[in-house]
Amino acid sequence: MNYRRLIRANLDISEISFGCMSLGLKHAENQALIQCAFDAGINYFDTADVYKNGFNEESVGRALKPIRQQVILATKVGNVPNEEGRNREWNPSKNYILKAAEKSLKRLGTDYIDIYQLHGGMIEDDWEETIEAFDILKGKGMIRHYGISSIRPNVIRRFATQTGIVSNMIQYSLLDRRPEEAALGVLSDEKVGVMVRGCLAGGLLAGKDLSDYLGYSIEDIDILLDKVNSFSIEKMSIAQAAVKWVLSNNSITTAVVGIRNMEQLKDTLGAVEVPELSVEAVRELSDLLKPNLYAKHR
């Protein structure tokens, strides 16, 4: 496993990390997956308070307990689940964040969170109040660092340039190139880590039945997949090539890959073993489709 520096936090993060959202409802199976990932060198695990209405945090915390001091645990806050466990109300207020952090710590079974992330955000939010809450939690030792999880360029610019965030989780893939135009530059300039989610484009780059995606037609995606397959000399799956393409960008800290079962984990870990994409392959894949752009929140 290779590691990349999360500069503002002075941490080394495995370049492939574990997105926990897709984990199931059986603790034993989740623990086996997480332990296997850790044994392979993954040290960054990402969850959120609303995943499965808190069960995900509980299960992740239980699995990480024997290795807690050896991993970097990230969770998120801001989306308020209703009685059915669905997160539809947005609340980035200080009071809510302070209370939610205590609940997350209890579910995770730990006394600190390595990176506490704002799970979204709008330009209209009282961002100073949000940062005040994070600073209070950091001062109490309840969190070590804080970040955001946002795809909105105007929100990203504000937090990257005016706050102490250490990271931003953003959606980025061969089928979602929007961050290149309006986000990756400022994050790199400000030394803010980039945690990439969605590098498999909702499964379209991992064998899922094709459908239109962010302005790309099924025909467009077929063309891209054919090109990936043409690099057969690399001896990697399409999913592995998609991860390798994301990691070829030096501004990326880690690819947070959602993992549900052992087969997915093994394929993801296989991306560590296969050769790097050549410079030519990266260029050809990047040039194949016209990059999409953010239409809102610029």
User: Which residues are catalytic, by number?
Assistant: 51
Phi and psi for 216 in degrees, rounded to 5?
-95, 135
Strand, coil or helix: 145: strand
Q: What's the token pair of residue 33?
A: 């997956």
Strand, coil or helix: 156: helix
User: Are the CB atoms for 244 and 236 separated by under 8 Å?
Assistant: yes
Query: What's the CA gap between 45 and 203, in Å, rounded?
Result: 20
User: Are the CB atoms for 153 and 187 separated by under 8 Å?
Assistant: no
Provide DSSP, 24-90: -S-HHHHHHHHHHHHHTT--EEE--TTGGGGHHHHHHHHHHGGGGGGSEEEEEE-EEE-TTS-EEEE
User: Are the CB atoms for 16 and 45 separated by under 8 Å?
Assistant: no
**Torsion angle of C-alpha atoms 69, 73, 78, 79, degrees rounded to 10:** -120
Helix (H) or strand (E) holding 128: helix 127-139
Burial tier of 210 (Cβ tally within 10 Å: 0-12, 13-18, 19+): middle
Provide DSSP, 238-270: HHHHHHHHHHTSTT--EEEEE--SHHHHHHHHH
